[in-house]
Structures are given as C-alpha cells and as structure tokens.
Amino acid sequence: MVRNAIMKDAKIIQQLVNSYAKNGEMLPLSINEVYENILKYFVYEEDDKIYGCCALFPSWEDLAEIRSLAVFQNEHKRGIGRILVEHCIKKAKELGITKVFALTYKVEFFEKLGFKIIDKEKLPKKIWSDCLKCSKFPDCDEIAVIKEI
C-alpha cells in the first residue's frame, strides 16, 4: 500500500535513496532535505515495512517532477516502482497538474508507463535552479522523460 511519508520514515527514505546514490544512479539526499520535504514523499509499505519510496515535486503551474524513486534491490520486479509512480501521477492530477517528468537512467521503466523522452532544454528554466546544486552540473547524463496526464 502507498501512503504519505511521515517523519519517522525520513531515515529509511534517506538510506534507500543513498543506497542508489553510492553507485551514481541517483543524487544523494541529506536527512535535512528529507525532513524539509517529507510532505512530498510517499512510501510503499506492507506489514509495517517500507519497500520503496518516491516523491512528487511540483515545479510549475502545470508541471511536477517525480524524484527519488527507489525500491530495495531485493524487492525489484514486484511492481512497487510502477505503483509508486502511478500514485504520484494520481496526486499530480488532484493538484491540477497536467504533465509529470523525471530525470532518469531507467528510461525503459518510464516508457512502459507512458513517458516519452524529451530534451531537457524544453523544461522550464526554474527547474535548472535545482540542477545548479548538482555535482553533475553542467554535464548531466540523466535523460528527461515526460508524461501528459
């Protein structure tokens, strides 16, 4: 089941995301970043155990970013990532957002969910304010994908 993250989930979210960041697959999160943005995070939980997380960051009037999508390695192929993305899309619709995007290395995963590859330059400049803080800027090798909802 997907639910809104709560403060006690912050450390597991950070641990999960940073397990991918160690391999350069995601950007690392500080615990402070997770606490400050906890209202934007969702977790997938079964029997009081968290198996995955994802965040929805509105970035423009009609646009939101899916971030920090992570599922514990030993839980892959169960559909948890898909469920989390679908939940973010549902929440985006409720907010009146018409497009969701992600920056990813897992393009095939997002394409299966109806996302299309786009040029990062087509994203609003406001988004680049986050990119300026990234260790990979200006040589970002992530691929932008977007879905109209």
- Which of the two residues, 126 and 132, has the higher pLDDT score? 132
Count of structural domains within the chain: 1
pTM given for the model: 0.91
4, 50 Cβ separation under 8 angstroms: no
Q: What pLDDT, in 10s, does the model give residues 127-149? A: 666 666 666 666 677 899 999 99
Bridge partners (DSSP) of residue 53 are 43, 70
CA distance 90 to 94: 6
User: According to the model, what pLDDT value does residue 42 have?
Assistant: 98
Selection from 60, 62, 74 nearest residue 16 by Cα: 74
Residue 120's domain spans which residues?
Answer: 2-148
CA distance 139 to 134: 10
Sign of CA dihedral 22, 132, 110, 97: positive
Query: Which residues are CB-contacts of 95 (< 8 A; sequence separation ≥ 6)?
Result: 58, 64
Query: Which residues are CB-contacts of 67 (< 8 A; sequence separation ≥ 6)?
Result: 54, 55, 56, 57, 102
- 3 state DSSP class of 26: coil
What CATH number did the domain enclosing 127 receive? Answer: 3.40.630.30
Is the pLDDT at 126 greater than 60, yes or no? Answer: no
Q: Residues 30-42: what's their mean pLDDT?
A: 98
CA distance 45 to 52: 7
